[in-house]
Amino acid sequence: MRGTIRIDANRCKGCELCVGICPKKVIGIADTFTPKGYRPAILVDPDGQCTGCLLCSTICPDVAITVYREAVSRTPAQKHAAAA
């Protein structure tokens, strides 16, 4: 299953709990700083390994992570587009 996450950098406090818990090791820490002075977590997933497993969003104390998964059932139009 393919998934992805979006991390709201403004909410992230760089606690790194998501980094440690990610089974695919696709979360890292940015070199930049948030307005509050933290280095936020970022998704580093060039190979699309994220499965949207929800572990990071479950452990995140700041509820900064939104999780997405590829839809299981597609509309006919989407199937057509995928086949084309």
Partner 1 sequence: MLAETMTVVYERPETLLPVVSHYCPGCSHGIIHRLVAEVIDELGVREQTIGVASVGCSVFSYNYLDYDFAQAPHGRAPAMATGIKRYRPNHVVFTYQGDGDLASIGAAEIIHAAARGENITVIFVNNAVFGMTGGQMAPTTLPHMKTTSSPQGRDVATMGFPIRVSEMLATLDGPAYIVRRAVSDPATINRTKKAIRTAFQAQLHGLGFSMVEILAACPINWDMQPEDALQHIKNAMIPYYPLGDYKVIDAVKALA
**Which residues contact partner 1 (rule: CB under 8 A)?**
2-4, 6, 10-11, 13-17, 20-21, 36, 38, 52, 54-55, 57-63, 65-71, 74, 78, 82
Q: 3-class DSSP state for residue 6?
A: strand
Question: Cα dihedral sign for 64, 24, 20, 52?
Answer: positive
What distance lies between CA 1 and its chain's CA centroid? 14
Q: Rounded to the nearest whole angstrom, what is the least distance from the CB of residue 75 to partner 1 in the complex?
A: 10
Of the pair 31, 75, the CB lying nearest partner 1 is at: 75
Q: Rounded to the nearest whole angstrom, what is the least distance from the CB of residue 54 to partner 1 in the complex?
A: 6
Token pair of 65, please?
A: 């992570």
